Amino acid sequence: MGSPSADKRKAREQAFIILFERSFNSELTIDEILKIAVESEVIEKNKMTADIVRKAEEHIDEIDGVIEKNLKGWSKQRISKVSLALLRMAVCEMKYFDKVPVGVSINEAVEICKVYGSDEDKSFINGILGSIAREKED
């Protein structure tokens, strides 16, 4: 087993994968996507992963509202599916997981983006999440 922070990174990365997959499979529930991903060994069964994706799904309209409010001159439709999945994951943590420091949520989204996204995605995500974090502080 890895270090606690490595295990959490993996759980977040898996949550990102499920939320990304969700953007292509709106006819399936989040639990069906999770089950298929575990059965096909795309991800490992993980409570933190399941908690994030279920909470994100439960509050998707609120999460998307927070994201859209912070898109200066952009629409949600223009965001890449990678960026949107990472933003949803991080905003979900920032809003609904009080034990996770906001800076950790932002950093983890940016680190995962380094693997799956482009350099533009990375700075875009960092900027949007920074804006959301400042708004949360007020």
Q: What are 66-79's pLDDT values in tens digits?
A: 999 999 887 788 89
- CB neighbourhood size of 29 (10 A): 13
Reported as a pLDDT band with limits 50, 70 and 90, residue 28 is very high
Q: Give me the chain's average pLDDT, please.
A: 93
Q: Record the tokens describing residue 21, joined without a space.
A: 């997959």
pLDDT greater at residue 136 or residue 134: 134
Smallest CA-to-CA distance from 113 within 100, 126, 101, 103 is with 126
Give the pLDDT score at 26: 87
The Cα 31–Cα 84 span in angstroms is 19
What letter represents residue 83's amino acid? Answer: S
What letter represents residue 56's amino acid? Answer: A
Mean local confidence (pLDDT), 60-65: 96
Whole-prediction pTM: 0.93
* pLDDT exceeds cutoff 60 at 1: no
Q: Is 16 helix (H, G, I), strand (E, B) or coil?
A: helix
Mean local confidence (pLDDT), 100-113: 95
Reported as a pLDDT band with limits 50, 70 and 90, residue 138 is low
Q: Record the tokens describing residue 35, joined without a space.
A: 């089950």
